[in-house]
Amino acid sequence: MSSFAEQLAVGVDHERRVAAESEARGWTVTPWGQSMLPAVTRRAMRDTRFQHFPDIVAARPGEIVTIDAKDSMPSTETGRYAVSQKCVQFGLQFFAAFGLPVFYVFSNLGVLCPTEVTSYGRLGPPSSGGAYYLVDGRYAHLFDDVFGRPAGSMAA
């Protein structure tokens, strides 16, 4: 089992990778999640629905989206993604309230939105961390299909 500090480092690295991949496709990327808040505020938010606030806001002319970078998925054994039920509920409510799309970007750069997670996934058995939707990785969109191809790349 890795320590919280090790898990946090993996998460931060993944957020940076997602930001760099988005910027390479012409998006302006701004960190937006809990990482922007003081430690005391993050601790206070730990047990609220706001702990699931997206990590990144990305914009380009005429478009704005939010991204929640999910670093520890998919499962190498099953090929499934696991997303917390509470996280998905927050993503659905966030979109309903603000009209800003939420995209989950996984460690292999597969992309799903909350409605896809609820449509294609099934709730797995409850764990100490709560219930998780399990989604077959074949349902994920390619990063390039959602966010575009990197500047200067040739279409295949």
Q: Checking DSSP bridges between strand 132-136 and strand 141-142, what pairing results, if any? A: unpaired
What are the chain's domains?
A: 4-143 (3.40.1350.10)
pLDDT at 38: 78
pLDDT at 74: 53
Give the global pTM.
0.87
- Which pair of tokens denotes residue 22? 């988005």
- Strand-pairing partners, residue 30, are 57
CA distances from 63 to 13, 26, 29, 66 (A): 25, 11, 12, 10
pLDDT at 79: 84
What are the pLDDT tens digits along the chain (156 aa)?
A: 456 667 777 888 999 999 999 999 999 999 887 777 778 887 887 777 777 889 999 999 999 999 999 976 555 677 899 999 999 999 999 999 999 999 999 999 999 999 999 999 999 888 877 899 999 999 999 999 999 999 877 654
